[in-house]
Amino acid sequence: MSASRERLVVIGAGMAASRLLGELAQRCPGRYAVTLVGAEPHGPYNRILLSSLLAGERKIEDLALEDARALPGVKLVLGDPAVTLDRDAHVVKTKTGARLGYDRLVLAVGSEPIRPNLPGIDLPGVFTFRDRADAEALIAASHKAQRAVIVGGGLLGLEAAYGLARRGVAVTVVHLMGWLMERQIDPAAAVLLQASLAAQGIAVKLKAETAAVIGSERATGLRLNDGTKLPADLVVFAIGIRPSTALARQAGLAVNRGVVVDDRMTTSDPRIIALGECAEHRGATYGLVAPLWDQAAVAASVLAGDAASAYGGSLAATSLKVTGVELFSAGETEAKEGAEEIVYEDRTAGVYRKLVVKDGRLAGAVLLGDARDGNWYAELMRRAAPVGAMRQDLVFGRDFIAGAGA
């Protein structure tokens, strides 16, 4: 490495790190000698496409992001996770014993799937669905499986269910709450979503609490708290994620739910930046792509020497298309005090739209069956744009309003 370059170590080789490197290449090419450290044995890939890979709609090569080797001054250390961080010596140590010195450091270590402490959780045939290895393991298992139980009716759980169903596996989704994707959509939208899943052969059990994985030598099903037994050849837990904070805690950085950062994505150590799913900003953590892009842009600006760049938080917007039905959700899904709801529903067509308006501005949107206007609604929310003049037609979307001369 050139002695004239500052040493930048980026821990984590996921989408956030890849985006950061691309931003740095544009903002300050040649400033840093970069070492990218990844726990997985391959370079950055598009995690969003894992569900399409599982469903057989994408190939493994479709997931690859821009090869970090193509970016100037980047050295890859893959399949060798960072295990200790010595902030006094400014050194990262990897599992194989490699010692990497740094002038600046970025934590982009993402998150890890939650595995509940249940009887049978460690049996063969029990999976999570979070990374490429998980997807490849599920694909291999699906060749012999006839029945699968997915624990978790959120975004990842439904994507895993769809993928396995597309491979001919009979799938049952077990969900603790009263409706699917309760954090992103309301009960009315969930009814339509569940009907769409049923049409694809995916069964759903709501208000169902898991007691144990059944099996002796390998998983043979799931037992619920009410005693119900669901036979299965494989069981997938997709009940949520938690920020990966072990390395930050070991190093003595400030950690709450995630690694605490300020508006410049800087941790309690001014040499260290954190971004992506591992970072906690103003008490919020994000598991979606758009916030990662926003954070990467700010982090790159800070590393490039921009004294004014700041991150103010992101609008959490969710899109789900892999299940065969378009879904978009952003902002508030229920009207709170002082807000109103605008609802359009066509059950025959499977279309549902609900907008939440507060103080003359759009505060939330839930779209199911036709999500074409999702990005437009999200932009209205980001800009806090007044919508009073188009209030009457707002639920019908941008094209309708444009056609009406609004």
pLDDT digits (tens, 9 = 90+) for 136-160: 999 999 999 999 999 999 999 999 9
Among 237, 264, 289, which residue terminates a domain? 237
pLDDT in tens, 324-363: 788 999 999 999 999 999 999 998 888 999 999 999 999 9
By C-alpha distance, which of 118, 116, 150, 147 is closest to 134?
A: 150
Count of structural domains, the chain: 3
Q: How far apart are CA 34 and CA 5, in angstroms?
A: 9
Q: Averaged over 44-68, what is the pLDDT?
A: 90
Same domain, 215 and 247: no
Q: How far apart are CA 56 and CA 166, in angstroms?
A: 8
Q: Which residue has the tokens 């308006």?
A: 357
Same domain, 233 and 251: no
Q: Averaged over 368-397, what is the pLDDT?
A: 95
- CATH number for 24: 3.50.50.60
| Model confidence band, residue 405 (pLDDT cutoffs 50, 70, 90) | low
Same domain, 178 and 224: yes
| Model confidence band, residue 379 (pLDDT cutoffs 50, 70, 90) | very high
Same domain, 206 and 350: no
Same domain, 87 and 186: no
Same domain, 280 and 228: no
pLDDT in tens, 293-320: 999 999 999 999 998 999 999 998 888 8
Same domain, 97 and 159: no
Q: Averaged over 124-136, what is the pLDDT?
A: 97
Among 221, 237, 253, which residue terminates a domain? 237
Instruction: Give the model's pLDDT for residue 347.
Output: 87
Same domain, 158 and 90: no
Same domain, 133 and 229: yes
Residue 120 lies in a domain: no
Rounded to the nearest 5 degrees, what angle is found at the Cα of 330, between the Cα atoms of 329 and 334?
85
Q: Is pLDDT at 1 greater than 50 in this prediction? A: no
Give the mean pLDDT of the chain.
94
Range from 24-38, 312-326, 349-363, 367-381 carrying the lowest mean pLDDT: 312-326
Q: What token pair was written down for 159?
A: 């994507």
pLDDT in tens, 196-217: 999 999 999 999 999 999 999 9
Residue 296 lies in a domain: yes
Residue 199 lies in a domain: yes
- First-residue to last-residue Cα distance in the chain: 58
By C-alpha distance, which of 10, 51, 49 is closest to 238?
A: 51
Computed on alpha carbons and rounded to an integer, the radius of gyration of the chain in Å comes to 23
Same domain, 294 and 334: no
Instruction: Give the model's pLDDT for residue 67.
Output: 62
By C-alpha distance, which of 348, 302, 354 is closest to 327?
A: 354
- The helix/strand/coil state of 330 is strand
Q: What is the extent of the structural domain holding 351?
A: 326-403
Range from 116-120, 121-125, 192-196 carrying the lowest mean pLDDT: 192-196
Q: Is pLDDT at 176 greater than 50 in this prediction? A: yes
Residue 315 lies in a domain: no
Which amino acid makes up residue 205?
Answer: K
By C-alpha distance, which of 154, 221, 135 is closest to 127?
A: 135
Q: Averaged over 36-48, what is the pLDDT?
A: 94
Residue 76 lies in a domain: yes
Q: Averaged over 286-292, what is the pLDDT?
A: 90
By C-alpha distance, which of 125, 366, 89 is closest to 222?
A: 125
Q: Is pLDDT at 391 greater than 80 in this prediction? A: yes
Instruction: Give the model's pLDDT for residue 406.
Output: 46
Residue 321 lies in a domain: no
Same domain, 341 and 391: yes
Which amino acid makes up residue 384?
Answer: A
Residue 119 lies in a domain: no
Instruction: Give the model's pLDDT for residue 320.
Output: 80
Same domain, 257 and 226: no
- CATH number for 397: 3.30.390.30
Q: Averaged over 45-67, what is the pLDDT?
A: 91
Q: Is pLDDT at 290 greater than 50 in this prediction? A: yes
Q: Is pLDDT at 4 greater than 50 in this prediction? A: yes
Q: Is pLDDT at 73 greater than 90 in this prediction? A: no
Among 237, 258, 291, which residue terminates a domain? 237
Rounded to the nearest 5 degrees, what angle is found at the Cα of 128, between the Cα atoms of 83 and 188?
125
Residue 47 lies in a domain: yes
8 Å CB contact between 302 and 292: no
